[in-house]
Amino acid sequence: MLRRATHPLLRAREVSTVGSLPPPASVLSVKEGLGISTNTIKGDVVVAETISGSSVEAWTSSQRRTLFAGVGSWALDAFDYFVLVFVLSTMAKDLGVSIVTATIAITFTLLMRPVGALIFGPLAEKFGRKPILTINIVVFAVIELASAGAPNFVVFLILRIVYGIAMGGIWGVSSALTLESVPQRARGVVSGLFQAGYPLGYLLASIVFGLFIHSIGWRGMFAVGVLPILLAAFIYFKVDESPAWTATGGTERVKPKIGLGRAIATNWPILIFAVVLMAAFNYFSHGTQDLYPTFLLVQHGFAPGVVSIIAICYNIAAIVGGIIAGTLSQRFGRKRIIIIFAALALPCIPLWAFATSSLALGIGAFLMQLMVQGAWGVIPTYLHELMPAGSRAILPGFIYQLGNVIASPNATIQALIAKANGNSYNWALAIVAGTVAVVIIVLMSFKRDQRKPNQLLPGATASAS
């Protein structure tokens, strides 16, 4: 039986479905995690035959570009954030403040992120994900460059406050664009890939720090942070608008279908749960990442090159963990995978926080971030599946950033605990990591998965599935 394809790229082409001969082995690509059972290649489009025999489109070139843009925007945003994490002690010394005082810059960055979500999220619902994401990237890149020229800590702090606003818009808008554009059966693995952008940014910051800190200094590190402007150009010229946004009336430039106030009023029990969960998750990530380089540099006295190598290793683990967990969640459910990975983080704590050699600490950090970011890898799609259609560029990002607000004192709290114990950071790290891992397990134990992993997102259209 022959059926004419409806996608513009396949118009005037005919795709064989039930009863057709299987393609040669050389063109088979069995990728169940990406929503494909068997497929044939038709130009730029992979045409997949599902087990039921119905023909679906999977991974057009447009979708691949969107995935690259989504992961890239989150990765480069994270890179700019983690530059401060690596140069914290150097910057503090140069600007004449203590490390505890310097951590206030991290705190205020996190505090202002919900403001960014509230600014850029509604704009993305009204004007589209693509143009707002492009503008958002340009804004945070320019502010990062300006941070390189800060003459004193007060100016630096003001710039980090503004940067926090810009950073707050990225996650919600880019995750909405990505998850609304990819094949719906691939949401689990795409969620892991998207969230892996965060440790990827950390990894890039690790590499730049290890290679260039001695030659360009902390100011040069911030100057490198202007490079995301190149990604903004790519998005503007090469990435398509979200098909879900376009299909729900976005081309008419109307107000969001569901306003923030109405969405909160009608979904407040879920939102309270989600905010508490995101607070725990943000303590989970920031509590295991933000002061770990300082822990290695100050408490153990390791050279920047050694710290860079350890950070590179645990960020590779974080990327792998997010992708693995996201993929597994598509088959076994979001809740189950989050609980498993959070639980597996607990036995990693002794090696991660209390080992003495660089090798042992590196192994511990590798295992810890494999589990922490594994649990995180499920979160983008989990949050989007919780939210009503018409608010997915607002609510997931806003909830995520509210969790960041609650977790914003983390670095300062850990630094104060370390200072009270003779600059010993291990207990500060262990207490936070262990506590929030248990909290995440308990919270997820009382919450069912919102919908089946392969169920279409509300408001999504066939073009995105």
Average pLDDT over residues 167-172: 90
* pLDDT of 65 over the 70 cut: yes
* pLDDT of 4 over the 60 cut: no
Say whether pTM exceeds 0.75: no
* pLDDT of 462 over the 90 cut: no
Of 50-64, 101-115, 243-257, which has the strongest mean pLDDT? 101-115
Q: Of the given ranges (283-287, 298-302, 422-426), which has the lowest mean pLDDT? A: 422-426
Residues of the chain with CATH 1.20.1250.20: 61-252+264-455
Domain at 61-252+264-455: CATH code:
1.20.1250.20
Residue 330: per-residue pLDDT: 86
Residue 393: per-residue pLDDT: 64
Average pLDDT over residues 435-460: 72
Q: How high does pLDDT run on average in the chain?
A: 82
pLDDT in tens, 322-366: 999 999 998 899 999 999 999 999 999 999 999 999 999 999 999
Instruction: Name 291's Cβ contacts closer than 8 Å, sequence gap at least 6.
Output: 85, 103, 411, 414, 415, 418, 425, 428, 429
Q: 278 to each of 71, 104, 250, 283, how far by Cα in Å?
A: 20, 21, 29, 8
Nearest alpha-carbon partner for 185 in 423, 381, 438: 381
Q: What does the block give as tokens for 437?
A: 């891992």
Q: What does the block give as tokens for 8?
A: 């513009």
* φ, ψ dihedrals at 39, nearest 5°: -150, 165
Inter-residue contact 73 to 174 (CB < 8 Å): yes
